[in-house]
Amino acid sequence: MIQYVNALLASEDPTITHHWLLPETAEIVYGGLASVIVVGALIKFAGPAIKKSFNARTEKIQKELDDAAAAKVNADSDAKNIRAALGDIAGERARMLAEADTQAAAVLTEGRTRIVAEVAELEAKAETDLSAARGRSSDELRAEISMLAALATPVVVEATLTDQTKNDLIEAFITSVGAAR
């Protein structure tokens, strides 16, 4: 009986198997069927969702690539426009500088001409003023000399005329008046 109990216990003990590496045959069958059912259900139900998510991810990545390509094209065209605008700016700058140089030369020439004319006008006016001043000075000097001569004449005449000189002058006057008749 002890052997029977040991055999009964051994058949019910899950730690005791027929092989040290492989599980029992029923476990292989049931485990295999369960695995096939689970994998089949995953393929049937989860497969389309996974495929859909992969397709969505692929579309998203493709869209990002397309957007990046379009952004690159836009950036290239913007860069081309900026380079063209810079070229236009350089040309416009050169034109404006040339125009400014021309205007500066015209203003300088006009200024020199105006200054030469003003200098000639001022010289002529100065010459006229100098001539007028000479004339006034000369007239004033003559008037001063005349006044001084008028003041000095009686004093000089009285100091230099003697009675004899006075008589001689009167006689000469009378003679000249008589001879003139």
Taking residues 124-152, what's their average pLDDT?
Answer: 85
pLDDT in tens, 81-125: 888 777 677 778 888 899 999 999 999 999 999 999 999 999 999
Banded model confidence at residue 1, pLDDT cuts 50, 70, 90:
low
Taking residues 33-57, what's their average pLDDT?
Answer: 92
Which of 49-53, 74-78, 84-88, 134-138 is the least confident region?
Answer: 84-88
Q: Please report, rounded to a whole number, the percentage of residues in the chain having pLDDT higher than 90.
A: 35
User: How far, in Å, CA of 98 to CA of 103, rounded?
Assistant: 9
**Which has the higher per-residue pLDDT, 67 or 150?**
67
Using alpha carbons, list the distances in angstroms from residue 77 to 64, 80, 90: 20, 5, 20
Phi, psi (rounded to 5 degrees) for 145:
-65, -40
